[in-house]
Amino acid sequence: MSEGGFRTRTSVTVAPGGRVSTTKAAFLSRCCRTWNKTPFTTASISPATRRCPSDGHSPDGTYLDTSTNQTRACSNYSGSMGSQNNNSCSCATHNNHFGNGPVVRADTEDGSRISGVIGHVWWSAKLKEITDGQSKTILFGEVRPQCAWHIRKGWCNINSVYTGTGIAINFNTCEGEPGTGSGCNRHSGQWACSQGFKSRHPGGAFFAFCDGSVQFLQETINMVTYQALGDRRDGTTFSW
């Protein structure tokens, strides 16, 4: 593609072990722009399979990004960076509980410094790197765009993929709902607190595990156990 002489290329390669590595280059940063004066609408497409019927955040699954006046399609599912460091959050959390995720928001390509299976940049774990077992490691879980600014930016935005277990399930950052709008219970200015999994299902949220199973985790789950499910290599023994 080109735009005023600008050229960009996205290449996909399959690395040993089956991991797909995508060189996003300038494509992601410009995914919502126009090319050759034709509206580039991919970023506003909201597949029904990416939305949870219980979350009526908008009729068509989109939000208007007022900063760019662009329509962004949102998703109710986000990959798990596990029990990762989020030191920008001044509220009580269980960030980096096992010491396996020291880099803030998983902003690294070094998988040895990421707790979960998906990083903020373009790193993702190979199956052999999930040493706790695929049935005991969270792959992705439910999120609510209404409750997190970075999720509301849409699936095309790189910030929509870093969600972790350091925040309790269904911790309320949904501004406009009772008990929110100040302190830790807000997503404006408290991104780290809003970067937790949540749903409109009473009592918890659904999670997909690395073995392909889907399980409902209670919001009252022991937080240390929750961190163990988020971390792919903590080596602890637990039941839930």
- Best mean pLDDT range from 9-18, 162-171, 207-216: 207-216
Place of tokens 């960076």: 81
Query: Global pTM?
Result: 0.79
Q: Give 193-219 pLDDT, tens digit per residue.
A: 888 999 999 999 999 999 999 999 999
Question: What is the DSSP pairing of strand 204-209 with strand 138-142?
Answer: antiparallel
**For the segment 100-150, what is each residue's pLDDT rounded down to a tens digit?**
999 998 999 999 999 999 999 889 999 999 999 999 999 999 999 888 888
Q: Give residue 222's pLDDT.
A: 95
